[in-house]
Amino acid sequence: MTDYFVRLIRLPVKVEGVTVPNSDGTFSIYINELLSQEKQNEVLEHELRHIRSEHFYVDMPVEHMEKQAGGEALNIVLHPPEGKIAHFHSESALGDYLRRLAAQKGLKL
């Protein structure tokens, strides 16, 4: 399980929310306090999908990350940036990653 901290702060009008990985493996999620409660909940779920999708540890165009966090299924290979080691918050997340890679290469685990 990944720990995260949600903070409501005043952000520029066009910024609904942002997530920042912390050095201890937790995440800080900042949500614009100017949004309605319903919209804040939607933004929180969007930001949590970024965390669950490991977007902070893969080399993927931002447009793809946003589509995936918005609920769209993407069929792309995920690799960490060159020189970086992929980090997974759980064995389950690592297993999911390996299964995706194997499926994309037509292999069975």
Q: What is the pLDDT of residues 52-80, one digit of tens each?
A: 887 777 666 777 778 778 877 665 555 55
Please determine, for residue 101, whether its predicted confidence score (pLDDT) is greater than 80: no
Q: Can you give the pLDDT at residue 8? A: 97
Q: How many domains does the chain have?
A: 2
Residues of the domain holding 5: 1-52
pLDDT digit string, tens, across residues 11-27: 998 999 999 988 888 89
Within this chain, do residues 46 and 75 fall inside the same structural domain, yes or no?
no
Percentage of the chain with pLDDT > 70?
A: 71
Within this chain, do residues 5 and 24 fall inside the same structural domain, yes or no?
yes
Within this chain, do residues 95 and 48 fall inside the same structural domain, yes or no?
no
Which of 34, 52, 70 is the endpoint of a domain? 52
Within this chain, do residues 78 and 36 fall inside the same structural domain, yes or no?
no
Q: Concatenated DSSP letters for the chain?
A: ---EEEEEE---TT--EEEEE-TTS-EEEEEETTS-HHHHHHHHHHHHHHHHTTTTSS---HHHHHHHHTT--------PPTT-----SSHHHHHHHHHHHHHHTT---
Mean pLDDT of the chain: 80
